[in-house]
Chains A and B, each alone.
Chain A
Amino acid sequence: MNILELKNITKKFPDAQLPAVNDFNLEVKKGEIVALLGESGCGKTTILRMIAGFEIPDTGQIKLNGEVVSGNGIFKEPQKRRVGIVFQDYALFPHKTVWENITFGLFQLSKEVAREKARNIIVLSGLQGLEKRYPHQLSGGQKQRVALARALAPEPELILFDEPFSNIDSMRKHQMREDIQNIIKETDATAIFVTHDTRDVMTIADKVSVLRQGRLMQTETPENIYNFPANAYVADFFGKTNYIKAKVSHDGYDTPMGIIKTSTPLPASIDNVILSIRPEEFTIKTEGHDCFCGSIVKEKFMGEYKELTCKVENPSGEDTEIIIYASPAVECSNEKCYFKPNEGKINILNDD
């Protein structure tokens, strides 16, 4: 069952030249944690604000729990949408205590029920003992947990996070991500969060949508989007990769460094494609056939791995440089390196 459906959403701000969001589509199932990923200004926050009802799409339709909340001449005000938000600046009410902040959205419930709910969420978020404090007496992490508890208390259909980890120092980020993921999963909530940090995505998202200049690039699980990015933009966003020009033929990918043989079925022959192979998806061999051989141009020690840059020469002069992450233990003799791309990790990009 889809909690949220966005169909062909477009939004252009009056003074802008390009639309902030251009023909965007997304479906979110109950219990999912979805990430909207992109550089600042890519339209991800605008999408979040349209879901919450703070911006009105120019065209397209938004459905919450099967009901149209925006589109077809209907617009449901934010206060009627039952969508919780955790703002980037937390937006805690400065004149109210932690307890008053958390119970703020529970005004429709009876006193006892509201108290019970607030108590549960306070325990779950680890905020016991802070109930009487004011926001300015809290640390950044505590503020964020109060913001989360406040948004979750009325049990919204959907909870939205705007850059949830951008104000947390990197030492605490890891713990915070885990805490938030646990709280969301324990309360059975459905969540969407906006971020520009791929590590946020990898650790807590079930699904990620990558945006660029208002356009949707790809929606996939973090693992698939990492291994099989739709295009170079998405590939680069998630880390280093090797781009190799190729022709698809029946025995494999015909590249300037030779034919990459593969046993996985290939699409019909295409003339010009770009392959993307992540640096860690190569196996280093000491010697042997069925391998490519390159001379090591550069070697960098990175801690858990070392980064090798290998140059594979081509008789016609079209040399290929391949970056490989190898175990630090690997020793290459005579500055030569024999390597082979891992089966099933060769990805064809859809760039035009």
Chain B
Amino acid sequence: MNLKPGTSILSLQTHRQLTNPWIWGALLAALVIALPLLVVFSNVLTPGDETWLHILRNLIPTYVLNTLLLMAGVSLFTFIMGVSTAWLVSMYSFPGRKFFSWALIMPIALPAYISGFTWAGILDYTSPVYVFLRNNFGIDTGQYLFFNILSLPGAIIILSLALYPYVFLISRAYFSRQSSTLFEVAASLGKKQSHIFFGVALPMARPAIVAGISLALMEVLNDYGLARYFGVDTFTTGIFTAWFAFSHPQSALKLSAYLMIFVLILIILERTQRGKMRYDMLGSTYRPIKRTMLKKSRGILAMILCMFPFLMGFLIPVIMLIYWSNLTLVNVVDYRFTELLLNSFVLAAIASAVVTAFALFIAFTVRSFPSRFVKFLARVSTLGYAIPGAVVAIGILIPFLWMDSKLITLSSPGVRIALTGTWFALIFAYLVRFMAVGFNSIDSGMERISPSLDEASRSLGLSNMKTLGKINMPLLRGALISAALLVFIDVLKELPLTLILRPFNFDTLAIRAFEFASDERVAEAAPAAMIIIITGMVPVLLLNRLMGRTD
């Protein structure tokens, strides 16, 4: 159809967007992914009934207080552990520096709830460690070794040990990217090392550090397993109570909405402080940092400082878990365990394939048709990383239950069609929650491919789809594998979302480990926990190898 010049109100650009199936697809994906969030927020203003008023009056104050205390404590400790070790590892050389530069990341492979019940087991009256200390050294500190870890301070410590690697990774990247001239100038002005750290490096790295801490805090808001096990009532455990104990969906939704307010404040804080402070390395010529050699006693001090988070956050719990696994392996590993393993791995594999495919689709659409609108769609589709798993689950469960009730009236008697409690619901939820994980990995892979390769392919007559298949996908192999792997592991260790949405009588390794631990059978939880940890170590080691190459 030929329009006469000037008759078209829409610009050619808009016209093309409106007729582009890729953009329609991205729009659809963004809408679907945003659905749970819309559901959660749509319920904020509806008035609550008796049950909600009870929760509001009696429970919410505790939830708010506990959540805030957890966030404050974790901010402080992840900051101290993450930044100090990152500074040491990137600025100085001391015995074991190379080892610590990757060992300090390892706790990321140990989910907080697993580390939590392991530590609780270690410090318990009956733990082999306590028994050993009591019998041989006469150390007896009562019911618990040292102190009762099943408390709010205990939760803060365990969460910080599990989450400080976010701060460590991001500040290490920042410190080592800084030009040494900046620090040399400070040193030439007669500043002491401590002044350089507090006066130059720290203020400069602030945006990076805050970004790391907000990632850690998002994990705090997402956590269910540790808070429940340690008996700390937070918003996330509150959602579970409202859903499972009170059977009151409306309250679960409202709590989710409240929890999202915390998330939003966190995002806004992070964005605004990053927006104001953008220090580039431009202007100063880049020279890699020359590490200062630390003398004997100082070197050993640095080593001890780095040793602490690694031992507490990884090595000790893992040794304990291996010890327990050894004891219980024979009893635990039976045909049910094989089924469990299969369930978990198949579920994680399907979810990671789905997430990777969607992420590839969105990343390619943004690359091929980069308008503001399409970039906005990509942002919407990757929001899920900030939404706690329990909130995603409730936001999906409510509309699915409603759809089920409609489906029942449609289906003939005897045949029940349902969405809730199916793998479909679970995988949909993983897609919402972990889209960003897949997208970021693929998107950074895309950035390394020259856009002229896509254009060359299209100018040679290949459609977008064929270009994706013949050019982008082969070149993205590494990024696709890492996206799939990261999602796979996230799904494998995921707890709150899976607990709410899983099909009846369906268990995963994470759920089994958590249930064993909750039943005071910590040793039996160890084999499942070990499988999760070993799988989780794969990307950490790969990541380290990749970083080593650019080092």
A residues bordering B, Cβ < 8 Å? 14, 52-54, 56-58, 61, 68, 70-75, 77-85, 87-89, 91, 93-95, 104-105, 107-108, 150-151, 154
B474 interface residue per 8 A CB criterion:
yes
Which residue from chain B places its CB closest to the CB of A159 in the assembled complex?
A: B459
Q: Which residues of B contact A (CB under 8 A)?
A: 1-5, 7-8, 10-13, 15-16, 372, 450, 452-453, 455-464, 470-471, 474-475
Contact A151 B13 (CB under 8 A): no
Kindly identify which residue among B10, B372, B462, B470 contacts A79, using a CB–CB cutoff of 8 Å.
Answer: B462
For B461, list chain A residues within 8 Å (CB).
Answer: 79-80, 82, 105, 107-108, 154
Q: Please indicate the chain B residues that have their CB under 8 angstroms from the CB of A80 in the complex.
A: 461
Whether A150 contacts B460 by the Cβ 8 Å rule is yes
Is there an interface contact between B372 and A14, defined as CB atoms closer than 8 Å? yes
Which of A52, A70, A88, A150 is in CB contact (< 8 Å) with B12?
A70
What separation, in Å, do the CA atoms of A128 and B460 have in the docked complex? 22
CA distance A61 to B3 in the complex (A): 12
In the assembled complex, the CB of B448 is this many whole angstroms from the nearest CB of chain A, namely 11
Given A58-B11, A91-B452, the answer on whether A72 and B5 have CB atoms closer than 8 Å is yes
A79 CA to B456 CA, complexed, in Å: 9
The smallest C-beta distance from A70 to any residue of chain B, in angstroms, reads 7
Q: Would you call B455 and A89 a contact (CB within 8 A)? A: no
A95 with B3: CB separation less than 8 A: no
Contact B462 A87 (CB under 8 A): no
Contact in complex: B4, A91 (CB < 8 Å): no
Residues of B within 8 A of A85 (CB): 455-456, 459
Task: Check A75/B462 contact, CB under 8 A, given A89-B450, A89-B452.
Answer: no
Residue of A with least CB distance to B13: A56
Q: Do B455 and A57 touch (CB < 8 A)?
A: no
Most buried by A among B15, B461, B464, B471: B461
Instruction: Report the Cα distance A95→B473, complex, angstroms.
Output: 11
Closest residue of chain A to B449, judged by CB? A94
Contacts of A107 in B (CB 8 A): 461-462
- Whole-angstrom CA separation of A75 from B5 in the bound complex: 13
B462 → chain A, closest Cβ, in Å? 6
Given known contacts A87-B452, A89-B450, A95-B474, A75 and B12 CB-to-CB distance under 8 angstroms: yes
- B8 near A73 (CB under 8 angstroms)? yes
B3 and A93 contact, CB distance less than 8 A: no
A72 vs B8: C-alpha distance in the bound complex, in angstroms? 7
Asked whether A95 lies within 8 Å of B452 as measured between CB atoms, the reply is: no
A–B complex contacts, Cβ < 8 Å, 30 sampled: A52-B459, A54-B455, A56-B12, A56-B13, A58-B11, A68-B2, A71-B5, A71-B12, A72-B5, A72-B8, A73-B2, A73-B3, A73-B12, A73-B15, A74-B2, A74-B3, A78-B459, A79-B459, A79-B460, A79-B464, A82-B461, A84-B460, A85-B459, A91-B450, A91-B452, A93-B453, A95-B475, A104-B460, A104-B462, A105-B462
CA distance A108 to B11 in the complex (A): 33
Contacts of B460 in A (CB 8 A): 79, 84, 104-105, 150-151, 154
Interface pair A91/B456, CB less than 8 Å apart: yes
- Asked whether A57 and B12 contact (CB < 8 A) given A72-B4, A95-B475, the answer is yes
A72-B5, A79-B461, A107-B462 known; A91 vs B453 contact (CB < 8 Å): yes
Query: In the complex, what's the smallest C-beta–C-beta distance from B467 to chain A, in angstroms?
Result: 8
A105: chain B residues within 8 A (beta carbon): 460-462
In the complex, what's the smallest C-beta–C-beta distance from B479 to chain A, in angstroms?
A: 14
Which of A68, A82, A87, A95 is the one whose CB lies under 8 Å from B456?
A: A87
A73 partner residues in chain B, CB cutoff 8 A = 1-3, 7-8, 10, 12, 15
Q: Which residues of the partner chain B approach A87 to less than 8 Å between Cβ atoms?
A: 452, 455-456
- Residues of B close to A108: CB separation below 8 A: 461
* Contact assessment for B12 and A78 in the assembled complex, using a CB-CB cutoff below 8 Å: no
